[in-house]
Amino acid sequence: MQIKNIMTNDVSSVDPNATVNEAAQIMKNLNVGAVPVCQGNKPVGIITDRDITIRNIATGGDANASVQDSMTTDLVYGEPTMTADEAAQLMAEHQVRRLPIVENNELVGIVSLGDLAVEDQTDMEASEALTEISVPSQPQK
Burial of 6 (0-12, 13-18, 19+ CB in 10 A): buried
Nearest to 27 by CA among 52, 54, 58: 52
Instruction: Give the DSSP letter of residue 17.
Output: T
List C-alpha distances in Å: 92 to 8, 53, 104, 112. Answer: 19, 23, 24, 12
What's the mean pLDDT in 77-85? 95
Q: CATH second-level architecture of 3-133? A: Roll (3.10)
Nearest to 97 by CA among 78, 79, 111: 111
pTM beyond 0.75: the answer is yes
Residues 6 or more apart in contact with residue 20 via CB below 8 angstroms: 47, 52, 56, 62, 63, 64, 65, 66, 67, 69, 70
Q: Write the pLDDT tens digit of every residue in 16-57.
A: 999 999 999 999 999 999 999 999 999 999 999 999 999 999
Q: Write the pLDDT tens digit of every residue in 108-128.
A: 999 998 888 876 554 455 455
Averaged confidence pLDDT in the chain: 88
> How are beta strands 42-48 and 106-112 bridged, if at all?
unpaired
Each domain of the chain, given as residue ranges in start order, spans 3-133
Instruction: Give the DSSP letter of residue 68.
Output: G
